[in-house]
Amino acid sequence: MVSRVIPVEPFDLVIFGGTGDLARRKILPGLFRRFCAGQMPPEARIIGAARADMDGAAYREMVAGAMEEFGGGFTCEDKTLRAFLDRLDYLAIDARGDKGWAELQEKMKGKDRIEAYYFSVSPALFGDLAERLQKWGMADKDARIVVEKPFGRDLDTAKKLNGTLAAYFNEDQIYRIDHYLGKETVQNLMAVRFGNMLFEPLWNAQYVDHIQITVAETVGVGGRGEYYDKSGAMRDMVQNHLMQLLCLIAMEPPARFDPDAVRDEKLKVIRALDPVEPHHIVRGQYQAVPMDEADHPGYRTAVGDARSRTESFMALKVHLSNWRWAGTPFYLRTGKRMSARSSEITVVFKDTPHSIFGEEAGRHRNVLSIRLQPNEGITLGVTIKEPGPGGMRLIDVPLDMTFAEALAGEAGEQVDAYERLIMDVIRGNQTLFMRGDEVEAAWTWTDPIIQGWEARNDVPKPYDSGSDGPTDSDELLRREGRAWRGVAP
Ligand code: NAD
Helix residue ranges, H only, 392-459: 403-406, 417-427, 436-455
> Domains of the chain: which residue ranges?
11-148, 181-478
Burial class (CB in 10 A: 0-12, 13-18, 19+), 77: exposed
The finding on whether 120 has its CB within 6 A of some atom of ligand 1 is yes
The structural architecture, per CATH, of the domain 181-478 is 2-Layer Sandwich (3.30)
- For ligand 1, the distance from its centroid to the CA atom of residue 17, given in whole angstroms, is 5
Checking phi first, is residue 191 left (phi over 0); if not, alpha (psi -120 to 50) or beta? alpha
Give the nearest ligand 1 atom to 227 CA. 34
pTM over 0.75: yes
Burial class (CB in 10 A: 0-12, 13-18, 19+), 356: exposed
The finding on whether 121 has its CB within 6 A of some atom of ligand 1 is yes
248 and 189 Cβ atoms separated by less than 8 Å: yes
The finding on whether 148 has its CB within 6 A of some atom of ligand 1 is yes
343 and 355 Cβ atoms separated by less than 8 Å: no
Closest CA to 204 of 319, 317, 327: 327
Q: 210, 241, 279, 364: which one is catalytic?
A: 241
Closest CA to 377 of 399, 397, 401: 401
- For ligand 1, the distance from its centroid to the CA atom of residue 165, given in whole angstroms, is 18
* Strand partners for 175: 146
Pocket test for ligand 1, best of 16, 22, 132 (most atoms within 8 A of CB): 22
Render 180-202 in DSSP notation, one character per residue: GGGSHHHHHHHHHHHS-TTTGGG
The finding on whether 123 has its CB within 6 A of some atom of ligand 1 is yes
Known catalytic residue: 241? Answer: yes
Residue with the smallest CA separation from ligand 1 atom 16 is 51
The finding on whether 75 has its CB within 6 A of some atom of ligand 1 is no
Render 24-46 in DSSP notation, one character per residue: IIIIHHHHHHHHHTT-S-TT-EE
Residue with the smallest CA separation from ligand 1 atom 32 is 122
The one-character DSSP state at 4 is: P
Give the nearest ligand 1 atom to 149 CA. 44
Residue with the smallest CA separation from ligand 1 atom 44 is 149
Closest CA to 333 of 484, 180, 205: 484
Q: What are phi and psi of 478, to 5 degrees?
A: -60, -40
User: Given the DSSP bridges, would you call strands 313-318 and 377-385 parallel, antiparallel or unpaired?
Assistant: unpaired
* Strand partners for 349: 208
Pocket test for ligand 1, best of 59, 90, 119, 122 (most atoms within 8 A of CB): 122
Pocket test for ligand 1, best of 120, 157, 421 (most atoms within 8 A of CB): 120
pLDDT in tens, the chain (489 residues): 445 678 889 999 999 999 999 999 999 999 998 998 899 988 899 999 999 999 999 999 999 999 888 876 666 667 888 899 999 999 999 999 999 999 999 999 877 899 999 999 999 999 999 999 999 999 988 999 999 988 999 999 999 999 999 999 999 999 999 998 998 888 888 998 999 999 999 999 999 999 999 999 999 998 889 999 999 999 999 999 999 999 999 999 999 999 999 999 999 999 999 999 999 999 999 999 988 887 889 999 999 999 999 999 999 999 999 999 999 999 999 999 999 999 999 999 999 888 888 877 777 899 999 998 888 889 999 999 888 887 888 889 999 888 777 776 554 556 788 999 999 999 999 999 999 999 999 999 999 999 999 999 999 999 999 999 999 999 999 999 999 997 655
The finding on whether 176 has its CB within 6 A of some atom of ligand 1 is no
The finding on whether 52 has its CB within 6 A of some atom of ligand 1 is yes
CA distance 330 to 349: 13
- For ligand 1, the distance from its centroid to the CA atom of residue 355, given in whole angstroms, is 58
CA distance 113 to 43: 9
Q: In what order do the strands lie in the sheet with 330-335?
A: 394-402, 377-385, 367-373, 342-349, 208-216, 330-335, 313-318, 281-287, 461-464
Pick the CATH number of 11-148 from 3.40.50.720, 2.60.40.2240, 3.40.50.150, 3.90.1200.10: 3.40.50.720
User: Given the DSSP bridges, would you call strands 174-176 and 144-147 parallel, antiparallel or unpaired?
Assistant: parallel
Q: What are phi and psi of 405, to 5 degrees?
A: -75, -45
The finding on whether 17 has its CB within 6 A of some atom of ligand 1 is yes
CA distance 481 to 210: 11
Instruction: Give me the helix-helix angle, 259-271 and 243-250, nearest 10°.
Output: 100
Asked if the domains at 11-148 and 181-478 fall in one CATH topology, the answer is no
Q: What are phi and psi of 12, to 5 degrees?
A: -115, 125
